[in-house]
Chains A and B, each alone.
Chain A
Amino acid sequence: MSVMPMKRVMICALKKDRKAVLELLQRQGVVQVENPQCDAADPVFIQTDKSAEAAMFRKYAQSAGEALAVLNHAAPQKKGLLSSLEGRRRLSVEEFDGLVLKRDEILTNCRAILSLDRERIENEASAPKISSQIIALEPWLNYDLPLNCKGTKTTAVMTGTLPNEWQLDAILAKLNELAPDAGDVHVEIISTSQIQTCIFTVCEQKDAADVADAMRRMGFIKAPETDVNPAEETKRLKESLEKLRKRNASLNEKLCGFADRRSEIEFLVDYFSMRAEKYEVLGTLPQSPRTFVLEGFIPAVQADDLKELLEARFDISVELADPQPGDDVPVLLKNNAFSRPVETVVESYSMPGPGEIDPSSLVAIFYYVLFGIMLSDAAYGLIMTILCGLLVRKYKNMEPGTKGLLELFFYCGISTTVFGLLFGSFFGDSVNIIATTFFNRPDIAQPALWMAPLNNPMKMLTFCFAIGILHLFVGLGAKFYMLWKDHKYLDAIYDVVFWYMLVGGCIVVLLTVPMFTNMLTIKNTLPAPVGKVAGIIAGIGAVGIILTGGRDSRNWVKRILKGLYAVYGISGYLSDILSYSRLLALGLATGVIATVFNKMGSMIGGNFFGAIVFLVVFLIGHALNMAINILGSYVHTNRLTFVEFFGKFYSGGGRKFQPFAVHTKYYKIKEEMKS
């Protein structure tokens, strides 16, 4: 229910125990290491730069990760839909040590995998090149000389293509026209198509330049060069293509052969990430020739245990102290099972800053209620509750983040069910639609235990505003508590009590106005004297705010002006309260869209075919509606929490406690240590 108290820990130990101490601390994962920068002139303690080593280990971890990706691509692992919920596998210290001894072998395997993959990629890249060569040779298949044949001592041979379709006579005529001085030229057409004509030309060497020039002007392009004739070259190319294909198949097979090494490679990723983190910490340690020092923060409850553990095992000095005021102490939240799930919500806003309370338990109650009002369908709530409950029970080893989210939706589901029953919604109006369509009993309907929002929108709106006012006032109350706790009694009165008086007074005054209560469908208008009293209270509040709102200014004129501006903040309260109308809007959205789908499904009628259509529309429609409205409710519950609620008292700005620990992806090293 609170921010965990922290202790400062300072460890001084012998350098020979450095590795063991660090590894123990890493496995315990309770200390956030924060060593101050050593003074460069310090004659005894220096920090050694270990960033090169750390970077090297990160690189190893990365190449192991790449090898793993290659392996997963070549030999995909069969994974269930919910395998991501299983969490990291456990590894005993013995297994861990065994695998550490094999690390070089595993790393060699990783490199082998990567080089096999590189070759595979190169082969894959060269295959299309060969294919295009084969295609380029296709028009030349009838030609029986090597394509790079230049002729003989006295004759010149030119093979190539002319654009468009040419007849033999036309080519000869054109050549004659463009090179009138040349002697006999022999031209043969190898193949023609609409876009090109492949020709073979022979002329005397002395005319070669003239003929070549003429042909160039006709758009002649040389044929691709081959040492053998095109048919043979094509055969050769096809063979090498086949060879590449076979080679890749065998490469793939070799890659698949590593599939049973997958878990080892996963270990290697974890191992090197761990070592990298250790070296990053090591680089910050002030070290003398024989000793080293480590400073950091530790949750107070674990401090004594760690001290005992360390002192029993090493010649070591462990000093614990309370943090000094002004220390930037990292924040760790601790809550009971009911409010723990919203810790992630609080964290995604900001951790509590110095002097602030952990708002989780306050957030939790309203979070579940607001979510429930927005989704407000008993069936959707039941599905969420049962699904999340089962998953959390089944997968005990789940990662804390995933578990938190599922638990959040578990509680939200319960609240959704409750509000769904209160508002009489079970898959929208499905009970009534099914009874009417298939059993001809339009009198059967899901009763609303309280009211159906669609029939009483104003009443529902009033309820939403009431919830909003309560939410805001609780937020203000939290501010009062924090100020009071800090012995800022006057501030508590100025900033909270006056606002309670002003806002609360105004609300009560409004409740005495019949026009207003009629609009909000509140049956009992408060009697006028109550309004008078409330008005006076609101007035006192307003005057109080005018006098104190600008109390940081000495100048009284300035102070009153600032105070007047502060009173203007009442408009902020108005918009905050109106913002809770989204509870009604989103609640109606769920119900109405569910109704739309029910109606669509029942349009065919009550026969057998109609039942099938109804079932299909029902399943798809409600799955869609549920997904989109859970998303909407989640987003807007967060918004109401962050903007309206936190706006009243919580600004955050704390640092999250991030201990030096085993941060792995695939394995969890068991906590018990060998002694």
Chain B
Amino acid sequence: MNLGIVFALAGATLSALTSGIGSARGVGIAGQAAAGVCTDDPEKFSKVLILQLLPGTQGIYGLLIGFITMTQIGVMGGSSDISFIKGLLYLAACLPVIFVEPLSAIQQAKASIASIGLVAKRPDQFGKAMIFPAMVETYAILALLVSILAVFGVSALSL
């Protein structure tokens, strides 16, 4: 029996799983802050909504890696004959996303909440408020990038 595909699929699904959990939590707590602002001033809805959504992208990055991995390992059709070592390599390729995305989503949500507070008091500073959470996202993007390159790199290997 060849366990390669098991590890590879575990990598793919864990990417979507942990990132989804992180983003759900991030968007959730940011949403509570946003709703609080709207009770006072419903006109700020669109601004705080954008800030609430910022930690949501990590879930999408997880989905992205999950999907790319699944197409590469043949779960979505094609041959799923993956060697044991290659399966482990796919799992390793997914690790940055599996760990960085959920943590960065939650940290970004905290920055988002602070920015929502900023917008509540000074709506004219929206441009700056948006940048603080976006700073955190850089690391989510870097992790995504490494995972993308690694997944493609692994699929090019003949092991």
Contacts and interface: CB of A to CB of B under 8 A. Distances in A.
Interface of A: 345, 347-349, 457-458, 461, 578-579, 581-582, 584-586, 588-589, 592-593, 595-596, 599, 628, 631-632, 635-636, 638-639, 642-643
Top 10 A-B pairs, shortest CB-CB distance: A348-B127, A639-B134, A582-B141, A585-B141, A592-B64, A585-B144, A581-B145, A635-B134, A585-B145, A596-B67
B4 to A, nearest CB: 23
Interface stretch (B7-15, B31-39, B52-60, B80-88): B52-60
20 contacts: A348-B125, A348-B127, A457-B152, A581-B141, A584-B148, A585-B144, A586-B141, A589-B60, A592-B64, A593-B60, A596-B63, A628-B56, A631-B53, A635-B134, A635-B137, A636-B137, A638-B130, A638-B131, A639-B134, A643-B131
Contacts, number: 72
Nearest to B76: A599
B130 A457 contact: no
Interface of A is mostly: helix
A595 B142 contact: no
Interface residues of B, number: 29
Given A348-B127, A643-B131, A588 B60 contact: no
B99 interface: no
A154 B127 CA distance: 83
Nearest to A599: B76
Interface in B95-141: 125-128, 130-131, 134-135, 137-138, 141
B45 to A, nearest CB: 13
Given A589-B144, A628-B53, A631-B50, 16 more contacts: A347-B127, A348-B125, A348-B126, A349-B127, A458-B149, A461-B149, A579-B138, A581-B141, A581-B145, A585-B61, A589-B57, A592-B64, A595-B67, A596-B63, A628-B57, A643-B131
B63 A593 contact: yes
B68 interface: yes
Contacts of A635: 50, 54, 130, 134, 137
A638 B50 CA distance: 14
A30 B148 CA distance: 54
Given A582-B138, A642-B131, A592 B76 contact: no
A349 B127 CA distance: 6
A670 to B, nearest CB: 27
Contacts of A348: 125-128
Contacts of B138: 579, 582, 639
A212 B86 CA distance: 89
A349 B125 CA distance: 8
A229 B128 CA distance: 69
Nearest to B126: A348
Contact of B135 (A458, A586, A639): A639
